[in-house]
Amino acid sequence: MKLINKPSQLRALFCSILLLLEFAFVAAEDPYRFFDWTITYGDIYPLGVKQQGILINGQFPGPEIYSVTNDNLIINVHNNLTEPFLLSWNGVQQRRNSYQDGVYGTTCPIPPGKNFTYTLQVKDQIGSFFYFPSLAFHKAAGGFGAIKILSRPRIPVPFPDPAGDFSLLIGDWYQINHKKLQSVLDFGHKLPFPQAVLINGRPSGTTFTAIQGKTYRLRISNVGLQNTLNFRIQGHDMKLVEVEGTHTIQTTYSSLDVHVGQSYSVLITADQAPKDYYIVVSTRFTNKILTSTAILHYSNSLQSVSGPIPGGPTTQIDWSIKQARSIRTNLTASGPRPNPQGSYHYGLINISRTITLVSSAAQVNGKQRYAVNSISFRPVDTPLKLADYFNIGRVFQVGSIPDSPSGRPMYLDTSVMGADFRAFVEIVFQNHENIIQSWHIDGYSFWVVGMDGGVWTPNSRNQYNLRDAVSRSTTQVYPKSWTAIYMALDNVGMWNVRSEFWARQYLGQQFYLRVYSPVGSIRDEYPIPKNAILCGKVAGRTTR
């Protein structure tokens, strides 16, 4: 047996033992939660008439995922639809693991009659998120649900434990079958205006019970297709405490704009007279206002809801911008780790690259399309992440979308932007159109450092918030305006950058950001899952 007698060898052995012990400790600290979901079509009646919905274990909306920071979520999804299906996890960062992201650029669809087991870890995350079906136009039929990620017991939270914790999934809704809506888009037309707004799958009647004097947490997610929604509660103020995983300065609001794809947590106190109160959700920035209601029911209520439904803002953009700028990070609060969120001084880091993304709408070959920097995304038969892993050429080209608008007429391409691991980038979303927009980046949260009307210029940086901007994964861009974000590219993978307006996403307003590390180490990225479904040009190959 060879003896180890050199100091360097002893140090290496000692470090290896420490790493093994650390791994064992972490593994013991990170529990597993198992879910078994069956996806089916079923009859639902959200607007009082029968329509086809997508159910998860017979539920619409789907079951809630309850988890704690660093939990491993093992979700076995059985696809009993007659078409391919995928679920994606809005705001869950999939650290080093874009294979599990559940969008077509990363994951092969689950074929009809088959199953796929997602293995997710909510690594270093807290907060309120949601999942949704990402293929075709399934999102218009349901299949979505809430995700709660609680702080670990030893991590301080900047408010007392609430008496209850409720998820509210709000969104615009069509009575039209989702396949017909998809056909409208496939034939090159725009979608009509939706028929209603739902709260947890219903336009009215959903009830939340509160005990007088107690405080409750409401997690509000806009899971709809295109409309910003305003949320308010009759006779009650709301204290904002968390936005997509970031504890915020606890500002009080009488109503809150929730843009498509966004999630907010608020605290409300049942400190009014013992009766029932309206919870109200209505569309913003629309000529026709759609409104739905739920009920905040006091357990000792002496009176049912009464009086007019409280009105909210309608088209006031300045009001919404002012509110958006008031949402800031609580620098004294711990995040998922026991250190203040403000300890990462993003405003002192040098920007290595500025990316300007301009949205547009136009006709291509006589059909309606939407684009980013003139490129309308065209899907291919092989998920881009898998083509990258197996080194399959001619599927996509890195750099096929420029860092700034080219001025070219709109055209179709499989757009992929390359980026270096550990770069620190500035991204400007420029909106020249007359509608509000909403943008999401998978795999990341980012600091929303500025937003204003007009066209962004380098001088716009003078008004950036470089101290306590809110960190989130979805941001709005107001009409004829810009929004700027800072983002640390610390998560290797292939990540979807998309419009959360689902018709725009479906018709091309998205691309993929390939964050690349040449090292090829599992420290930077996990290997391909053993159970990965292989399709297209990688069909028939083996994983590991």
Q: Tens-of-pLDDT digits for all 544 residues of the chain?
A: 333 444 334 333 333 433 343 333 344 468 999 999 999 999 999 999 999 999 999 999 999 999 999 999 999 999 999 999 999 999 999 999 999 999 999 999 999 999 999 999 999 999 999 999 999 999 999 999 999 999 999 999 999 999 999 999 999 999 999 999 999 999 999 999 999 999 999 999 999 999 999 999 999 999 999 999 999 999 999 999 999 999 999 999 999 999 999 999 999 999 999 999 999 999 999 999 999 999 999 999 999 999 899 999 999 999 999 999 999 999 999 999 887 776 679 999 999 999 999 999 999 999 999 999 999 999 999 999 999 999 998 999 999 999 999 999 999 999 999 999 999 999 999 999 999 999 999 999 999 999 999 999 999 999 999 999 999 999 999 999 999 999 999 999 999 999 999 999 999 999 999 999 999 899 999 999 999 999 999 999 999 7
d(CA 118, CA 532): 9
Distance separating the N- and C-terminal Cα atoms of the chain = 34
Reported CATH class of domain 346-538: mainly beta
Looking at residue 4, what is its pLDDT?
A: 40
As a whole number of angstroms, the distance between CA 178 and CA 165 comes to 31
Six token digits for residue 405: 């608008």
Contact 199, 169 (CB under 8 A): yes
Establish how many alpha carbons lie within 13 A of residue 231's alpha carbon, considering only the half-sphere containing its beta carbon: 30
CA angle 505, 129, 334 (to 5 degrees): 130
CB count, 10 Å around CB of 141?
24
Instruction: Report the distance separating Cα 228 and Cα 234, nearest Å.
Output: 20
* Residue 29, pLDDT score: 63
Rounded Cα–Cα distance for residues 490 and 524 (Å): 9
**pTM of the predicted protein model:** 0.94
How many residues in the chain? Answer: 544
Report d(CA 323, CA 316) in Å as an integer: 11
| Alpha carbons 427 and 461: distance in angstroms, whole number | 12
**CB neighbour class for 421 (10 Å; exposed up to 12, middle 13-18, buried from 19):** middle
Both tokens of 158, joined, read: 């900047």
d(CA 125, CA 242): 12
Q: State the Cα torsion 351-335-119-377 to the nearest 10°.
A: -30
Q: Is 231 helix (H, G, I), strand (E, B) or coil?
A: strand
Q: Which amino acid is at 332?
A: T
Position 520 scores a pLDDT of 85
Q: What number of H helices and E strands is found in the chain?
A: 5, 34
Exposure b/e, 464-501, CB count within 10 A at least 16 = b: bbeebbbbbbbbbbbeebbbbbbbbbbbbbbbbbbbbb
Beta strands 263-269 and 238-243 are antiparallel
Given a contact cutoff of 8 angstroms between Cβ atoms, the answer to whether 444 and 487 are in contact is: yes
Determine the pLDDT at residue 18.
36
Task: Please say whether the dihedral angle defined by the alpha carbons of residues 54, 57, 58 and 60, taken in this order, is positive or negative.
Answer: negative
